[in-house]
Amino acid sequence: MRAFVLIAASLVIAACSSNPTTTEPVVYSQSEVADSIHIRVGRTIIVDGTRITFEAVESDSRCPMDVVCVWQGDAVARFVVEQSGAPSSGVTLKLHTTLDPKSGTGHGFRIELLTLAPYPRAATATKPDEYIAAVKIVPAS
């Protein structure tokens, strides 16, 4: 009986302390995203009914800040742009920090990758869930 109580208590504590894995998208107006906003990898924002998800950093070959390199390198961030309620209509954009394209268009918006943080360090590997992209989102012309 005592073991049962300990196991039950452990399960209750574990359930209460766990973090939810999904988060609700943050809704922005066009004026709020026209300068720049920050999106954490794995998160979605909504602008005028259009969902923009920062899915992943596909590659990051940027020269670490504490190393001298011949080339500054490049990182590629993958975004998916889709109409809310129509996930099959997604447009995938692979935006670069140094090379082209630095911006792309999907569902009436132009998304421009301004910066990608954190900047690499030689001694510390960046975990995939640590990336935050600064993007500018404007109506496509």
Residue 35 CB: number of other CB atoms within 10 A?
A: 11
Task: For residue 6, tell me if it sits in a domain.
Answer: no
Query: Which residues have CB under 8 Å from 33's CB, separation 6+?
Result: 45, 47, 135, 136, 137, 138
Q: Which pLDDT score is estimated for 23?
A: 73
Task: For residue 94, tell me if it sits in a domain.
Answer: yes
> Total structural domains in the chain?
1
Say if residue 135's pLDDT is above 90. Answer: yes
Say if residue 2's pLDDT is above 60. Answer: no
Q: What is the pLDDT of residues 103-127, one digit of tens each?
A: 999 999 999 999 999 999 999 999 9
DSSP three-state, residue 62: coil
Task: For residue 19, tell me if it sits in a domain.
Answer: no
Amino acid letter, 52: I
Residue 93 CB: number of other CB atoms within 10 A?
A: 20
Q: Which pLDDT score is estimated for 34?
A: 87
Q: What is the pLDDT of residues 15-66, one digit of tens each?
A: 444 444 457 889 999 888 888 999 999 999 999 999 999 999 999 999 999 9
Among the residues of 1-141, which ranges form H helices? 2-17, 30-33
Task: For residue 2, tell me if it sits in a domain.
Answer: no
Say if residue 9's pLDDT is above 50. Answer: no
| Mean model confidence pLDDT for the chain | 86
Residue 87 pLDDT level (bands cut at 50, 70, 90): low
Task: For residue 88, tell me if it sits in a domain.
Answer: yes
Query: Which residues have CB under 8 Å from 135's CB, separation 6+?
Result: 33, 36, 37, 38, 39, 52, 54, 79, 111, 112, 113, 114
Residue 3 pLDDT level (bands cut at 50, 70, 90): very low
The range of the structural domain enclosing residue 71 comes to 24-139
Q: Are 37 and 137 in contact (CB under 8 A)?
A: yes
CATH of the domain at 126: 2.60.98
Name the residue among 24, 27, 54, 58 with its Cα closest to residue 40: 54
Q: Which pLDDT score is estimated for 89?
A: 78
CA distance 73 to 61: 5
Task: For residue 127, tell me if it sits in a domain.
Answer: yes
| Residue that has been written with the tokens 């809704």 in this structure | 27
